[in-house]
Amino acid sequence: MKLHMYLALVLAGLCAVAQGAPKKKQTGNLGNVLYIGDSITHGFRAPSYRWALHKILVDNGIQYEEIGVITGNHSSGGGVEPNTLYIGQPFKNVHAAMSGQRAYETSGRDHEKHQKANRMESTDIFDWLEIEGKADSDKLRLGQVPDTCLILLGTNDTVSDYNPIAKDISTVQRNLLDKKKGDLCVIVDAIRSVNPKARVHVLSVPAWGDMPKNNSPKDYEAVVKKLNAAIAKRFKKEFVDLNVGLVDIACVEKPGKAVAEMMNPQDKLHPTRHGDMIMAGLVARALGIAGRSAGMPRKAGSAFALNAQSLFGAATEKTGAALEGQAVTLEPAAKLAAPWAAEDDAKSGFSAELSLSLGDGARNGWKKEPLVSFSVGNGVHSGTLQISECYYMWNGKVLYPCDMSKNREAVRVAWIPGSEAQNVMKGFYVWLGDMLIGEGLPDAPGAKLSGVALENLSDLPVKVNGLAADPSSLAPASKAVVKEAVSVVYDEEAPAAAAAPQEKK
């Protein structure tokens, strides 16, 4: 069967919205984009957040040109080949990032150490930008001026170079952030010297997992909180906090440690593909760009075919569930289950959305176990989103940490047929607001639900403020999208032949 989905490939412009968005209006063209960083940007056993961000930019019709002095990923175990296509658009995989890179190497501060390491042929920001009087090498020059620059440095300057970090964090902070000589400041100033209008963002030093060294609560506190707070203070609106979506808020014994699912299980330092996706979503928000659509049309939950009232009225099971307007109250152990209507053909994809707050945060200790389950299926594919006081989960794995007592964003689950040729993964997708937090997720084991089911697994009443479903695969609406057009055909049963090297699974 042919499944027709629509892709937003053309935008007249974008409005700056969402957390961390800049004030000036997004034009739909980022110009020359330069990524600067270490192995996290280079991509270690994963394509890096750059690949995930490429998908967001393509989904929103954003024009940009990758520039850099290095091509590819550091590790072949999980990277993508240069010019891999995503919905017809090549990811050049070009950047200025190298495994092990230090901020002082990029800024050119410590030539002796840099020459010894010889990373990126011992060149620095002044060589790349060909800054007269400061460039001392003819190697690795950009040949182009960056219009947008994303800088993610500091992990090796802290986690790799000091043990314990907490003892020397003041030295690290001074080396990175001194207004005149600090490495990050020198790098930003160099970019602005060749393009005063360049849009520059400095990304936070990301959280890490249970790696052998620098693993005390004081070390996490020193980097994830103290150092990043100083970076945020120095760069203000140019700062992007990646740890909003990486830090395990329920890990009270080591505040600041990353969620295990976000980190590579082998080294517990580099992000997984899932971690890369979360990082890219947060960067997109800072750029004022809407989240991923995965080639799906966008529609607000309020415009879905089925709302709480119609789902409640058609329910085959509504034990302990009460409806007030469009809000549903679930008593302890309550369940609401509604099938698709006879005229709805959910086989071509389906979506469901709900909005709720839950629990009391950390006040009485985090309840990590699922308190609410939200299931949706078409009889062939079905999946369940589990929600606790601190996590959104899928088949027991954490998708995103969130203090549900403060949550005000709707969460959406959709099944998408995908396309190997387009590099769109088949499976379930989950959005929080318009930010993608789950991609190509597998079916839930066991029964194949056909319809929507909502269950209260806790011992307290739960109020769901919004509930909706639609027999179509739909991405969330976003104020950042001004105009959408162009369509793409997905065929679950017979995907088209690949037109370019494919993403390695």
Which one, of 90, 91, 50, 76, lies nearest residue 504 by Cα? 76
Which pTM was predicted? 0.91
Rama region for 315: left / alpha / beta (φ>0; ψ in -120 to 50; rest): beta
Classify 169 as helix, strand or coil.
Answer: helix
How do beta strands 29-37 and 63-67 pair? Answer: parallel
Q: Distance (Å, rounded) from C-alpha 478 to C-alpha 475? A: 9
CB 388 within 8 A of CB 426: no
CA distance 41 to 126: 20
Give, for 393, the enclosing helix (H) or strand (E): strand 391-394
List per-residue pLDDT tens for the chain, 505 residues long.
222 222 222 222 222 222 333 334 455 899 999 999 999 999 999 999 999 999 999 999 899 999 999 999 997 678 999 999 999 999 999 999 999 999 999 999 987 887 888 899 999 999 999 999 898 888 999 999 999 999 999 999 999 999 999 999 999 999 999 999 999 999 999 999 999 999 999 999 999 999 989 999 999 999 999 999 999 999 999 999 999 999 999 999 999 999 999 999 999 999 999 999 999 999 999 999 999 999 899 999 999 999 999 999 999 999 999 999 889 999 999 999 999 987 788 787 899 999 999 999 999 999 999 999 999 999 999 999 999 999 999 999 999 999 999 999 999 999 999 888 889 999 999 999 999 999 999 999 987 899 999 999 999 999 999 999 999 999 999 887 644 543 455 555 444 333 333 444 4
3-state secondary structure 457-471: CCCCCEEEEEEEEEC
Report in angstroms the alpha-carbon separations of 206 from 97, 152, 159, 201, 236. 16, 9, 10, 15, 17
